[in-house]
Structure 1
Amino acid sequence: MPANTTAPSGSSDAKKSGRKKGRRARLLVIVLVLALVAGIGYGAFWSVSTVRASYPQTTGSIELKGLTGNVDVKRDDYGIPQIYADSDSDLFRAQGFVQAQDRFWEMDVRRHMTSGRLSEMFGSGQVETDAFLRTLGWRQVAQKEYDEVLDEDTKKNLRAYADGVNAYLEGKDGQDISVEYAALGLTNDYKPTEWTPVDSVAWLKAMAWDLRGNMQDEIDRSLMTSRLGEKQIEDLYPAYPYKKNKPIVEQGAVDPVTGKFDQDAEPSDGIGSSTVQDATDGLNTQLSALSDTLDEIPALLGPNGSGIGSNSWVVSGDYTTTGKPLLANDPHLAPMLPSLWYQMGLHCRQLSDTCRYDTAGYTFSGMPGVIIGHNQDIAWGFTNLGADVTDLFLEKVSGDGYQYDGRTEPFVTREETIKVAGGKSRKITVRETNNGPLVSDRSNELEKVGKKAPVTNSAPDRGDGYAVALKWTALEPGKSMDAVFEMNRAKDFTTFRAAAEHFEVPSQNLIYADTDGHIGYQAPGKIPVRVKGDGTLPSPGWTSDYGWKKDPVPFDELPYEYDPERGYIVTANQAVIDEKDYGPLLTKDWGYGARSQRINDLIESKIKGGGKISTDDMQQLQMDNHSTIAAELVPELLKIGVSDKSVREAQKLLEGWDYTQEPDSAAAAYFNGVWRNILKLAFGNKLPKEMRAKGDCLYVQPALGTGPVDERNRLVRECGQRDPDAAQPDGGDRWYEVVDGILDDTDNEWWKVPAKGREKAIDSRDELFARAMEDARWELTAELGKDISTWSWGRLHQLTLRNQTLGTEGPGLLQRALNRGPWHLGGGEAAVDATGWNAAGGYDVIWVPSMRMVVNVGDWDKSRWINLTGASGHAFSAHYTDQTDKWVDGELLDWSFGTNAVGQSTVDTLTLKKPS
């Protein structure tokens, strides 16, 4: 399975085009399938019955092995299931059955990814990915969790879920399960196998990988040392702006007497930290190769750990129109088809010691329980905390082992055999040090780095020299799966925090509200304590002067809030707490708070103005698309004198613009073009070539030009033309702070660009801004046309939903059959409506609010929710993308929870019957 890719530019008209394509896809399915098969020449033939065979049965009854009583599955007109049972085991067995009905292909691909077995499904193209994932050993850790760590009650639920999945699979061929299996069957003989409880546990490791924190920043900072000085690197990684953007927890510290976090405690002297630079000499080749390797690894949640963010906030009933708390959440993840999330309700008909769940929300196909949502007493949401839970260590290695405190320690090794569909199996040897697996062993480039002796039997595919090890909290067995069930059963803040203590990886910001009117926040996670250093650069692995202490940050020391006086809590990946006021080091690499402060400002202004916040207000705030960086830069851009009439015409778009990024906004399109070119000019040529961007080139066509060539508007510059080896900034909110930090220093060295070819030197900020406005004018001319009255942000900023396997690398006709879009979106990078794009590669949408919810605490049936796509993973189901148009428009669906409300919204009922 390939990594997520950005959506290509398209030429269809706005949102109506997306709607038409969604409807048309269902009508043309048979034609497309037959054309596909004929086009690739297999002589096979998919009939209407073949396509429909995989659709789930949603009415009538099915006998389900293992049930102790009958279970009802009620679906609304969006196909969202609500399950009713009389025991925990029946509830989770039914959940496994129903998710397999809708999403088994997705589940099967996920478990092959987490176990490093994609090659068994997709062939030799996935061998290198499998080798890296085998090196990380997610599956081995998940197995150890299941065998040695998880609570027996959790394991019973996992087994019941697996039994339900396998009951669905029993007696079915691949084509009976999903149309993708029918396509896969044309090239290999892969057959789905039984589901296991460990398949579910391993998915948490994939979550943790994509939410792992600052590993890429650690690599990039080290690579920068080859070309930049310490002050320049500090410019590019500014400190978190605590005075401008509030942290989540606004007061409190670890009490030196009790050793626990106290939200009312006064801060004492913070701990010191030092930047580790000892290991960076000679490391750039290894890290560059490792960075290239990471780019090839599937990123299920976001683009290789970058841009992963989310919004959540909760408002006390003192300030809401309902008199009870309102809670909102919208995690920002990679767009995929089907959506990562699966909406579901799990209900015990009567709560008892043997049936303890009455909960609804968003879960993952392949995992029992509910991840984000509410039960009968509490509601909760997640955003990524971003704690630094990974460190890279440079190791001195030889055929005999690795160096540590003057001794040669033996590697812990294991052999792995990667089976390849239609090809020869490959064997690899995984080597581990006390700092974790040698991830650099998987880079072909690193085979040649530092070799000093012949290859030995300890690692047949490696030699001696240096290697890079990854130490990561998720490679230790944990209890996060226990936490999922405990959170689903929690009744108050005390039991919620007890569940959060077990949510070790990935480390998340947890917000909370309950029917008694309380609101809260907890920072959980297994967060390492370093012997020395702050985790911002790789460390030397050959000495005990570095590394991690035995125990992580104690849970009692992690920040929390309960009913803060201000009456609301906002988490949007900003700093959790001011590090100078707090004891333990959580990370040096927070998000920079552009989104969080915008949410804080809007809530605070409403409250201070004497208003009350409604469910509609919460929903509208999720769609806020204000550009913080535009508000900073546009006043300066408008001061620039422009003589070229065409560029001046574009500049005038910014006059009177309110900085909102609506899909039909020409000003938003032009500003984002200017922003992208400011970053290229100021920073793109000055970063190390090892960090060069891998984004797609968007523009290579001539601009205005019909007569003689004129250098002012001759050519839209090709991606990377100024320096093909230069890295390009991605344009995230860190770059907002970088630019803001030098904005008033108009002669700062970053604004200066030497002459190159026919391009004149740039000697000041205003000269650079003028060039960026000119470049953006010609870039958008090539993309959108010469007539600026036809420009719109949505035409540049498009979302295409891709089936994450055959929709990315399958034959073209198959991709067209499985994929949907494009849709023209508003919003943007670091806006509340975070439709993210990477300035290094273009304007296409590469992460999105993957779902949105507004929970009306206590009056649950007035809550609202939406998914990015739909409930079904079947490409031609009516529920494949039936929520997407509403998602694009910012609409939410009614979210039924109570028995009566669910009954009124039910359109299909399936009874899963106890065997007679």
Structure 2
Amino acid sequence: MPANTTASSDAPGAAGAKTGRKKGRRARLIVIVLVLALVAGIGYGAFWSVSTVRASYPQTTGSVKLDGLDANVDVKRDSYGIPQLYADTDADLFRAQGYVQAQDRFWEMDVRRHMTAGRLSEMFGSDQVETDAFLRTLGWRKVAQEEYDKVLSEETKKNLQAYAEGVNAYLKGRDGKDISVEYAALGFTNDYKPSEWTPVDSVAWLKAMAWDLRGNMQDEIDRSLMTSRLDAKQIKSLYPEYPYKEHRPIVEQGAVSPVTGKYDPEAKPSDALGTGTGTGTGTGTGTGTGTVQGVTEGLNTQLASLSDTLDQVPALLGPNGNGIGSNSWVVSGKYTTTDKPLLANDPHLAPQLPSLWYQMGLHCREISAKCQYDTAGYTFSGMPGVIIGHNQDIAWGFTNLGADVTDLFLEKVSGKGYLYDGRTKPFTTREETIKVAGGKDRTITVRETNNGPLVSDRSGELETVGQKAPVTDGAPDRAEGYAIALKWTALQPGHSMDAVFELNRAKDFTTFRKAAAHFEVPSQNLIYADTKGNIGYQAPGTIPVRLKGDGTMPSPGWTSEYGWEKDPIPFDQLPYEYNPERGYIVTANQAVVDEKNYSPLLTKDWGYGTRSQRINDLIESKIKDGGKISTEDMQKMQMDNNSAIAALLVPELLKINISDKSVREAQKLLEGWDYTQEPDSAAAAYFNAVWRNVLKLAFGNKLPKELRVKGECLNVRRADASGPVDEQNKLVRECGMRDADSAQPDGGDRWYQVVTELMDDQDNDWWKTAGNRRDEPTENRDQLFARAMKDARWELTAKLGKDITTWNWGRLHQLTLKNQTLGTAGPDLLQRALNRGPWNLGGGEAAVNATGWNAAGGYEVVWVPSMRMVVNVGDWDKSRWINLTGASGHAFNAHYTDQTDKWVNGELLGWSFGTNAVARSTTDTLTLKP
């Protein structure tokens, strides 16, 4: 089944049904295991031959007839199976792209489109009904259809249609077992047959991408939940202001001009239009009467339930929206050894198998009005075009901007509708029928207010939201209760699919910005370089302007005082840079611009700039005194393992007098350590264990239990923790938590900033902890640090052994690549057939080499640089790239994980682009014929 989609139920009578579902699921998995064992040739005779295993592998040589082509298309693959396509028309190019991606990745594409449409139950049965219901409520597929029907350009629709025709040409006449081994397994338990691909299937993927990059919704929920136990000052200390003086924003000068009303990179902030006081900047602290928390204390239980409901949605890009980040930077030719710009990008996403990315080149043999593309880079299987990469004139990269594009609204509801400005307005409703493999169909009713769909309708707890709410601060009569609506920019039709093709065709910064204007959701940082030596940056996206509040807490939905203005921030007011004097641009999820110099508000919840500042420092150290940066230097920067929090804490940890010999032995590991987190580093292992225990002691045990842990073991649902006590205890031990409901910080760079601001306050209340049978209470910072060092010593003794000479970071910090459907659950045999690993990794949380781990759940790698590229602008064939896994989605294919070892070691592959270079690297050629 898909990752993170196991639904739970606490309704009366659910226990028996749950048991039945588990038995049925277990029986299906046993059958699937046996089938995969046969397919993999690991037992049970010769029922499945090697030729059967290879039946789904792509044909890569010879020729194939592809109906609809105007002329031949050549598919040239290198030794890693990466295809470069050559065609004479746009339609042929995208038709071939659809065919080739279906060859390698159709199972992934099929599961993905069922997820985005809320149709997982059609493939995997009743276990997915609750997930489907929530996704139908959000209506991704519905909005995608509206985009295709009413918004997208005719040219874009032609490209989407050609792509779909290519996919369907591949599917024609093939049984499931001929497409992928997973269908062969699924066929023994389900009569599911893949249907034809449609253009809307491609468009809907952008909604899933936008969902995982949606910004601060979890922070919005968490802040509200904190009010049950913490006061406003304490909450503020856990969400400190962005440290602009220490961590530079992306754009360091410029403002909205009072003359033109547009963003001007040369304008001085003192002359800016409405600087710091414009509409939508917000004035609330997140805990007062300007938010829902000021009118109802009954909200917290329901928000905790919503948080759990959100966790059921498959996390395609990262672990439930947490830790999503990326690095990108571009250096001007005046500071490079090539005399042309160098551009690097490595998006940080969930470690998936196959990788989210698919490398490809799309080439017109001759650029003309009928064939406009010569581009290469990273694509999404299931969607035409190149997402990140370069064409013959420009290169571009993405990181998540993190704009606040979602708000939760508490609605006063009744059977007749919802209250708004003293009047009851009728809901907008629609019915959705969920088809279930092997079960009965389920029909749900989706209700919407002017603030969006009622996401609370999908939770039994949320249906009674607000029942305990006191009538205070102007709250309406709540006789029939409250509900929670989600307002999100991605639920409005937009032009993002148009932007993909426009980026692929862009020739200069003007056309690049024109394309960026259409990249509405998700809001991304776009960096740029061209063959003429220019570099640039643009912040795009549909970003709302709030009437009141700052988006950090849920808002009242029953009054027009809140909500959004009709129009978002105009594109021409969004920050950009072009050839800045400093000669380079860094984006790594830090603040885009100092909010004192810019209005209206983009978000209050930036990443805190640890990675971005490290990259800035590395560039400056290289170019000072006339130094130059090479392609190899860019590559080394991507693998930088430095721990900023270690540089802050270790000097203080070493000052503490430790009397326990075993703990002192571990403390000595930190002496002389350079704060780099190499896989073989014992110091890195011990320090990260200390850091985790500092967080647990100082904060975790003081946070509300509703803030359920968010980490790899957070894939465990309430249903999984409702079994026998010994199973629950096992869960607790594996997760390293006191109990299954404890709330722990994730350890990201927000927590770096929290601790940084507390370091000089030895007696702050956060350092004070209660004693236990083993330890005395702590009264100050150093006492807490001493206990954390002790706890870390015994934790690693249990995990790595008593002999500290055998410790190393990589043994704790491991990456296992999991097939995102049948490889995420079930017996070991099934997982061994589909999954790969583990690999011992260096790097860590908030390092440039961002192999992220979640301190709430342990040290396992939960997000990674999902690909890495260094583009040598103008001399394209000297560019380099790597993917996390490989080109193929077929579990036993040679290209399933053939790039992973090199990725682990920080290596990059050569990236051929020009016709001659591609010819030299080609090992297989397939000709697609009309």
TM over 0.5: yes
Distance 1:335 1:65, change over 3 A: same
2:37 is matched with 33
Number of equivalent positions: 864
Pick from 811, 832, 847 the counterpart of residue 816 of structure 1: 832
2:246 is matched with 244
Structure 1 residue 37 displacement after superposition: 9.9
**Residue identity matched to 2:555:** S
1:273 is matched with 282
1:438 is matched with 454
Looking at structure 2, the residues matched to 414 and 466 of structure 1 have their Cα atoms a distance apart, in angstroms, of: 20
Structure 1 residue 48 displacement after superposition: 1.9
1:385 aligns with 2:387: no
Aligned 1:503-522 pairs, distance under 5 A: 503-522=519-538
1:225 aligns with 2:227: yes
1:61 is matched with 63
Aligned 1:335-734 pairs, distance under 5 A: 335-450=351-466, 464-693=480-709, 695=711, 722=738, 725-734=741-750
Looking at structure 2, the residues matched to 847 and 86 of structure 1 have their Cα atoms a distance apart, in angstroms, of: 40
Pick from 852, 855, 858 the counterpart of residue 868 of structure 2: 852
Pick from 121, 126, 129 the counterpart of residue 124 of structure 1: 126
Distance 1:206 1:696, change over 3 A: closer
**Residue identity matched to 2:38:** L
1:235 is matched with 237
Looking at structure 2, the residues matched to 784 and 90 of structure 1 have their Cα atoms a distance apart, in angstroms, of: 56
Looking at structure 2, the residues matched to 248 and 864 of structure 1 have their Cα atoms a distance apart, in angstroms, of: 25
1:879-907 C-alpha deviation (Å, 9 max, x unpaired): 00000000000000000000000000000
Looking at structure 1, the residues matched to 465 and 92 of structure 2 have their Cα atoms a distance apart, in angstroms, of: 55
What is the Cα-based RMSD across aligned positions, in Å?
A: 2.0
Judge conservation of contact 2:357–2:379 (CA < 8 Å) in 1. yes
Pick from 760, 765, 768 the counterpart of residue 744 of structure 1: 760
For the residue of structure 2 that corresponds to 1:431, the secondary structure is strand
**Residue identity matched to 2:137:** T
2:719 is matched with none
Structure 1 residue 424 displacement after superposition: 1.1
Structure 1 residue 677 displacement after superposition: 0.1
Judge conservation of contact 2:219–2:552 (CA < 8 Å) in 1. yes
Structure 1 residue 193 displacement after superposition: 0.1
Looking at structure 2, the residues matched to 375 and 719 of structure 1 have their Cα atoms a distance apart, in angstroms, of: 46
Structure 1 residue 692 displacement after superposition: 2.5
1:13 is matched with none
Structure 1 residue 4 displacement after superposition: 5.3
Looking at structure 2, the residues matched to 719 and 92 of structure 1 have their Cα atoms a distance apart, in angstroms, of: 46
For the residue of structure 1 that corresponds to 2:379, the secondary structure is strand
Judge conservation of contact 1:5–1:846 (CA < 8 Å) in 2. no
Distance 1:38 1:625, change over 3 A: closer
Judge conservation of contact 2:4–2:311 (CA < 8 Å) in 1. no
**Residue identity matched to 1:376:** Q
**Residue identity matched to 1:270:** G
Judge conservation of contact 2:407–2:554 (CA < 8 Å) in 1. yes
Structure 1 residue 811 displacement after superposition: 3.9
Structure 1 residue 47 displacement after superposition: 2.8
**Residue identity matched to 2:777:** A
Judge conservation of contact 1:682–1:753 (CA < 8 Å) in 2. yes
**Residue identity matched to 2:816:** T
Looking at structure 2, the residues matched to 37 and 374 of structure 1 have their Cα atoms a distance apart, in angstroms, of: 42
Judge conservation of contact 1:215–1:391 (CA < 8 Å) in 2. yes
1:588-647 C-alpha deviation (Å, 9 max, x unpaired): 000000000000001011111321000000000000000000000000000010011110
Structure 1 residue 295 displacement after superposition: 1.1
Distance 1:30 1:418, change over 3 A: closer
Looking at structure 1, the residues matched to 363 and 807 of structure 2 have their Cα atoms a distance apart, in angstroms, of: 50
2:155 is matched with 153
1:204 aligns with 2:210: no
Aligned 1:305-324 pairs, distance under 5 A: 305-324=321-340
1:112-147 C-alpha deviation (Å, 9 max, x unpaired): 000000010011111111010000000000000000
Looking at structure 1, the residues matched to 351 and 440 of structure 2 have their Cα atoms a distance apart, in angstroms, of: 34
Looking at structure 1, the residues matched to 215 and 734 of structure 2 have their Cα atoms a distance apart, in angstroms, of: 32
1:713 is matched with none
1:864 aligns with 2:880: yes
Looking at structure 2, the residues matched to 601 and 4 of structure 1 have their Cα atoms a distance apart, in angstroms, of: 38
Structure 1 residue 445 displacement after superposition: 1.7
Distance 1:450 1:317, change over 3 A: closer
**Residue identity matched to 1:512:** Y
**Residue identity matched to 2:129:** V
Judge conservation of contact 1:717–1:779 (CA < 8 Å) in 2. no
Looking at structure 2, the residues matched to 65 and 725 of structure 1 have their Cα atoms a distance apart, in angstroms, of: 57
Structure 1 residue 270 displacement after superposition: 1.0
2:140 is matched with 138
For the residue of structure 1 that corresponds to 2:626, the secondary structure is coil
Looking at structure 2, the residues matched to 720 and 807 of structure 1 have their Cα atoms a distance apart, in angstroms, of: 24
Structure 1 residue 813 displacement after superposition: 1.4
Pick from 825, 829, 842 the counterpart of residue 826 of structure 1: 842
Q: Structure 2 regions of 5+ residues with no counterpart?
A: 7-32, 469-478, 715-731
Judge conservation of contact 2:679–2:808 (CA < 8 Å) in 1. yes
For the residue of structure 2 that corresponds to 1:561, the secondary structure is strand
Judge conservation of contact 1:30–1:47 (CA < 8 Å) in 2. no
Judge conservation of contact 2:409–2:554 (CA < 8 Å) in 1. yes
1:844-883 C-alpha deviation (Å, 9 max, x unpaired): 0000000000000000000000000000000000000000
**Residue identity matched to 1:327:** L
1:332 aligns with 2:348: yes
Looking at structure 1, the residues matched to 466 and 642 of structure 2 have their Cα atoms a distance apart, in angstroms, of: 50
Structure 1 residue 257 displacement after superposition: 2.0
Distance 1:252 1:739, change over 3 A: same
Looking at structure 2, the residues matched to 420 and 303 of structure 1 have their Cα atoms a distance apart, in angstroms, of: 26
Looking at structure 2, the residues matched to 97 and 717 of structure 1 have their Cα atoms a distance apart, in angstroms, of: 47
1:784 aligns with 2:793: no
**Residue identity matched to 1:490:** A
1:770 aligns with 2:770: no
Judge conservation of contact 1:626–1:832 (CA < 8 Å) in 2. yes
1:491-517 C-alpha deviation (Å, 9 max, x unpaired): 000000000000000000000000000
**Residue identity matched to 1:536:** T
Normalising to structure 1: TM-score of the pair? Answer: 0.92
Structure 1 residue 756 displacement after superposition: 3.5
1:111 is matched with 113
Judge conservation of contact 1:4–1:300 (CA < 8 Å) in 2. no
Structure 1 residue 534 displacement after superposition: 0.6
2:471 is matched with none
Structure 1 residue 296 displacement after superposition: 1.2
Judge conservation of contact 1:35–1:813 (CA < 8 Å) in 2. no
